Structure 1
């Protein structure tokens, strides 16, 4: 593996487990990578990884033309807080990232940063592992690491799934999306990119199916889903049903979404708040082919490291 310069950014919460931070730092340094802004892992202000100004500065440093760009920009963790920074980012300066092979990586609350960067600066990024929870995990996921390094180091790759599908799809469009709660929260703001003919992937954690449906309805009623060719459902981990649901399950909710939106819904994407997750390029060109026996998602046209 080629050694890389990795810059840590903490736009959301602070890491709650100091041991995970030390594991992540040790592992990456042992592999020969150079870590910059490691102090971001130690900052705390209320429930955030620093004050709003400190956390915005993590990202705005990337806009400084006097500073060489890192190979990888890695979010420390998710949680909440990225939305508070969107109005204060130097989008004009950050546009220099759009033409450079820099891998900007994170998921969960980081979805807000990814959407805003694409909407205002044309910057493509990656939904993928984060520093504390993934690189610092007690048991490092070989699956997650293999897919991460493969995705950011190759000009194209294909995701394959043998999860049976209810609908057939053959579509090409821009892959975008991420955390469903964040996407829904950006509706009506200038930070949700107006993607036409896209392939939207979504995931979330600790959300009951009715809450997932409500957020999907918000995207639908705002006209976002009607402009997409397909919705690809990632992992919705942590949600719990009760006797009151009376047959209303995640599967029942997905059937309701299909009926109401008229947009094909593909299931089984291995992305979300799970131990083994794919890395997906936000803004890439995607060719999605789904059939009864599974689906493939071929991805190209995104920044990758030589």
Structure 2
């Protein structure tokens, strides 16, 4: 179906049995899969030292594959940003290669968008999505659409609270010609003030995170707010924020509290929730750096990029 080059640009692969299982599943789906020679390398917590991981990214760019897929996220790409092979990554993308990943991969995605305007794809990672007991059908279907070159959009059902916050959406709402960008909130917030954060005006910004308490999520959103990034967008889409623990000290302070606060700060910029993306089994594939159309019809939200 597609040729896939699997490489490790961030954290070290710890689950080798899971990696083998994931590779077999992709092969069983009809894909031609090549594993980078350093995919299982390890240096401290990283998948090899900086030079090893930079070389893996360069090999992925030169592979001629249809898709360059990360093994996992973790941490490690931010420290590589000044030395990424931007020209090679961009050339590969222009030849048709889809660079796909999430989490720490956000650093590469935003950097190549800022430096070269290179579009990439926010989507699954090998271990996150193919190594478990089962493979989510929607995630697999969205990835297969990308592999076959037929993906044109994604949709989800908005929570009822979104329509209570924005009653006008119930009558239908449409936004056209906006650049879709974003990814992991922690990574994005850490790029503020650097040349590796795209200066997107009037975009659709999507965000997700994992293991971050709601007060830390709010703190990072506050940084984006005070930096003037959030008010310059036409819409903000929130995916999954999960794997955190509330405490009695929170006294009712929850993620919903943060969403309500953010909506109050942004006024006319709608903040929509429920986007199926993040560290969750069911995730869509999203084109980072491409123009999209966002349509809301009742509780149905639709993103089109075809």
Same fold (TM over 0.5): yes
Q: CA deviation at 1:217?
A: 0.7
CA contact (8 A) 2:207 2:237 kept: yes
CA contact (8 A) 1:74 1:104 kept: yes
Worse-superposed segment, 69-78 or 136-145? 136-145
Q: 1:295 aligns with which of 282, 294, 301?
A: 301
**1:34-73 correspondence runs (5 A):** 34-62=32-60, 67=62, 69-73=64-68
CA contact (8 A) 1:9 1:73 kept: yes
Provide the C-alpha distance between the structure 1 equivalents of 2:135 and 2:120, rounded to a whole number of angstroms: 23
Aligned residue in 1 for 2:225: 220
Q: CA deviation at 1:31?
A: 3.5
Query: Is 2:148 the counterpart of 1:149?
Result: no
Provide the C-alpha distance between the structure 1 equivalents of 2:36 and 2:29, rounded to a whole number of angstroms: 16
Q: 1:187 aligns with which of 186, 189, 192?
A: 192
Give TM-score, length-normalised by structure 2: 0.91
Please state whether the residue corresponding to 2:121 is helix, strand or coil: strand
Q: CA deviation at 1:162?
A: 4.3
Give TM-score, length-normalised by structure 1: 0.91
Worse-superposed segment, 229-238 or 27-36? 27-36
Kindly tell me: are residues 267 and 229 of structure 1, through their superposed partners in 2, closer, same or farther at Cα, counting changes over 3 Å?
same
Please state whether the residue corresponding to 1:61 is helix, strand or coil: helix
Aligned residue in 1 for 2:271: 265
Query: Is 2:247 the counterpart of 1:251?
Result: no
**1:65-144 correspondence runs (5 A):** 67=62, 69-144=64-139
Q: Which blocks of at least 5 consecutive residues in structure 1 are unaligned?
A: 301-306
Aligned residue in 2 for 1:303: none
Q: 1:158 aligns with which of 154, 161, 164?
A: 154
Please state whether the residue corresponding to 1:41 is helix, strand or coil: coil
Provide the C-alpha distance between the structure 2 equivalents of 1:290 and 1:161, rounded to a whole number of angstroms: 10
Q: CA deviation at 1:291?
A: 5.5
Aligned residue in 2 for 1:304: none
CA contact (8 A) 1:163 1:294 kept: no
Deviations 1:180-236 (A, max 9, x none): 000000000011111111000000001111100100111111111121001100000
Q: CA RMSD in A?
A: 1.7
Please state whether the residue corresponding to 1:297 is helix, strand or coil: strand
Q: Aligned residues, how many? A: 295
Q: CA deviation at 1:160?
A: 3.2
Kindly tell me: are residues 296 and 33 of structure 1, through their superposed partners in 2, closer, same or farther at Cα, counting changes over 3 Å?
closer
Aligned residue in 2 for 1:18: 16
Provide the C-alpha distance between the structure 2 equivalents of 1:151 and 1:95, rounded to a whole number of angstroms: 18
Worse-superposed segment, 140-149 or 289-298? 289-298
Provide the C-alpha distance between the structure 2 equivalents of 1:94 and 1:143, rounded to a whole number of angstroms: 28
Worse-superposed segment, 168-177 or 31-40? 31-40
Provide the C-alpha distance between the structure 2 equivalents of 1:293 and 1:143, rounded to a whole number of angstroms: 20
Provide the C-alpha distance between the structure 2 equivalents of 1:123 and 1:105, rounded to a whole number of angstroms: 13
Q: CA deviation at 1:256?
A: 0.6
CA contact (8 A) 1:8 1:40 kept: no
